[in-house]
């Protein structure tokens, strides 16, 4: 249980008291690694020269353009899909889109698997890494504080391109809505529930997993418009600021069938069928307490449609932005008097 204590301490250091507790993670007692590995294409790893880039995908039907963009950054090398559960369904899809040496899926379903040397070696040899959707609680519970996290951070430092969709998008930012207190097969955290009580037990924020420099100070959310998640993302921002551990927080919400494709220098383009929303705040919330509706603002807001650009470093776009406010749990463009 030492690893769980370390994870609890890291998460609690991010947020102000009182804190939501982290959901218990599975035991690491299994003596045999339980990873599963599926590969198509060449059985031998090829040495290539990938260049950094980050594909932030909002979930739903997979977006061909985003995957081709990742493949272009991989220089024809070995594409690795990471999951905590699921199948190898991405292998034929990606192989049909891109000219690559190989496409593989590595399923890492517990901490025993995360400690296997083969898992670390496979991540190290990848020319591009994609983290699939599913349940981000599994990624935090099973991968954080293990050799998988070390290998992922090392890959980012080497300039390996990385992408993620849905739960995979959730774990790319500096702050992660971890979903660790979501009930099994139960409802997701809704905006209404979070705005009414920013300390709802499902509001759990974990520290970053990959250390992507251009996403420092950023938290993300997916399925944004379809599942009406703006309110809960504003609550995540408020909780982080209320903790006193950050002087500024930025957030990105990405619609389904939409992606933000960002280069290492911060130049990003929105592609797909929807939009991406960008938020920024530096004032601590006026009311952010258990069982009381959130009051928070001002929050800078930019809505960027597919086909438009956004500068992640300067945090601006050519479009005219707006300012949001949350007053007693209600999101508005109007400030309080």
Distances (CA, A) of 44 to 60, 62, 71, 78: 32, 28, 18, 9
- Identify whether the C-beta of residue 290 lies closer than 8 Å to the C-beta of residue 284: no
The ranges assigned to domains in the chain are: 2-332
- 197, 198, 200, 203: CA torsion to nearest 10: 160
Q: Answer whether the bond into residue 76 is a cis peptide, omega within 30°.
A: no
What are φ and ψ of residue 5, in 5° steps? -60, -40
Q: In this predicted structure, what is the pLDDT of residue 31?
A: 55
Residue of 156, 195, 138, 161 lying closest to 78 (CA atoms):
161
Helices (H) and strands (E) in the chain — how many of each? 10, 17
Q: Which pLDDT belongs to residue 23? A: 31
Q: What is the pLDDT of residue 336?
A: 59
SS3 195: helix
SS3 298: strand
Phi, psi of 275 (to 5 degrees): -145, 165
Using left for φ > 0, alpha for ψ between -120 and 50, and beta otherwise, residue 257 falls in: left
pLDDT at 11 over 90: no
Residues 6+ apart with CB under 8 A from 269: 260, 261, 307, 308, 309, 310
185: pLDDT confidence band, cut at 50, 70 and 90?
A: confident
At residue 73, φ and ψ (nearest 5 deg) are -75, -15
pLDDT at 8: 38
The phi, psi pair for 328, rounded to 5°, reads 50, 45
Select from 205, 212, 206 the least CA-distant residue to 163. Answer: 212
| Segment 88-128, tens digit of pLDDT | 999 999 999 999 999 999 999 999 999 999 999 999 999 99
Tell me the fold of 2-332.
Rossmann fold (3.40.50)
CB distance 313 to 265 below 8 Å? yes
As given in the structure block, the two tokens for residue 202 are: 């499902």
Mean pLDDT of 53-63: 97
How many other C-beta atoms are found inside a 10 Å radius of the C-beta of residue 192?
12
Which tokens belong to 29? 């007692």
pLDDT > 70: percent of the chain: 90
Rounded distance between C-alpha atoms, residue 202 and residue 175, angstroms: 15
């Amino acid at each position: 249980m030492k690893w769980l204590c370390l994870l609890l301490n890291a998460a609690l250091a991010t947020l102000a008291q009182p804190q939501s507790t982290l959901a218990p993670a599975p035991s690491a007692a299994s003596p045999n690694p339980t990873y599963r590995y599926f590969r198509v294409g060449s059985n031998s790893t090829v040495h290539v020269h990938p260049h950094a880039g980050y594909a932030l995908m909002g979930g739903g039907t997979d977006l061909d353009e985003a995957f081709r963009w990742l493949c272009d950054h991989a220089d024809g090398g070995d594409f690795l899909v990471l999951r905590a559960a699921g199948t190898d369904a991405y292998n034929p899809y990606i192989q049909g889109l891109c000219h690559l040496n190989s496409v593989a899926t590595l399923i890492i379903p517990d901490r025993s698997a995360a400690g296997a040397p083969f898992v670390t070696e496979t991540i190290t040899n990848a020319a591009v890494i994609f983290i699939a959707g599913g349940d981000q609680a599994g990624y935090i519970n099973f991968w954080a504080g293990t050799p998988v996290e070390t290998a992922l951070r090392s890959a980012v430092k080497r300039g390996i391109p990385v992408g993620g969709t849905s739960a995979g998008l959730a774990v790319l930012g500096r702050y992660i809505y971890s979903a660790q207190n979501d009930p099994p097969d139960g409802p997701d955290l809704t905006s209404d529930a979070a705005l009414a009580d920013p300390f709802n037990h499902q509001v759990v924020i974990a520290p970053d997993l990959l250390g992507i420099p251009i996403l420092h100070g950023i938290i993300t959310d997916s399925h944004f418009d379809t599942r009406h998640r703006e309110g809960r993302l504003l609550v995540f921002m408020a909780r982080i600021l209320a903790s006193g551990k950050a002087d500024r927080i930025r957030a990105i919400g990405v619609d389904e069938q939409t992606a933000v494709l960002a280069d290492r220098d911060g130049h990003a383009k929105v592609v797909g069928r929807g939009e991406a929303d960008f938020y920024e705040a530096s004032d601590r919330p006026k009311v952010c307490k258990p069982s009381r509706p959130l009051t928070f603002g001002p929050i800078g807001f930019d809505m960027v449609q597919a086909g438009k650009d956004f500068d992640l470093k300067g945090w601006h776009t050519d479009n005219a932005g707006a300012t949001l406010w949350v007053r007693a749990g209600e999101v508005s463009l109007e400030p309080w008097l």
